[in-house]
Structure 1
């Protein structure tokens, strides 16, 4: 029985993810918008809050980042919105944990597409 709990604990810890963990992987989508990062983030953020009430939006040195996590503390989705090199729009990268599972996440992509 102790072995079972030990294995279960290791598996739970291995599944933990942070925004940095997700952003170290390849994004599930990369898009470009003519909107500046702040306008785009303010448009997308309410839908992310509807998805997860604990979603947070932070300003970064190059734009904005929206992070949505599960109730267990894992980061499920990260939207990184940065100012384009031409400084006239945004580059948006969407990172997901378990991207193969889109149950309940459909609103995130559609909100982004509406705001582009």
Structure 2
């Protein structure tokens, strides 16, 4: 019986940890690029896939997003890309801001 409650509680907490939760935080990195949003997203996704094979591009009605997920949260790293007339604006949101995960940030910067 306890195991059932524990599993239900864990699932409830996992549901709270969505990519939307990340965007309520301050981005760890913001920038502009002259590249098209799709070109920039493809560059970042390729580099992030080398770090985490599950990295993927998600298209929303207003943005492109590059997302890295893990087993317990729906988004560990989230790069939101807003298309502009001359390129794109980007914002990186990270669940945990540590030196070990800096490769994601460096990759986002390298693709600018």
Answer yes or no: same fold by TM over 0.5. Answer: yes
Aligned residues: 106
* Distance across 1 between alignment mates of 2:50 and 2:72: 18
1:58 aligned counterpart, secondary structure: strand
Structure 1, unaligned stretches of length 5 or more?
A: none
RMSD of aligned alpha carbons:
2.4
Deviation for aligned residue 1:45: 0.5
Moved over 4 A (4+): none
Deviation for aligned residue 1:74: 4.2
Query: If each structure's helix is expressed as a fraction of its own residues, which one has the higher value?
Result: 2
Distance change (3 Å), C-alpha of 1:71 and 1:50 = farther
Q: TM-score, normalised by structure 1?
A: 0.77
* Distance across 2 between alignment mates of 1:53 and 1:66: 12
Structure 2, unaligned stretches of length 5 or more?
A: none
Q: TM-score, normalised by structure 2?
A: 0.79
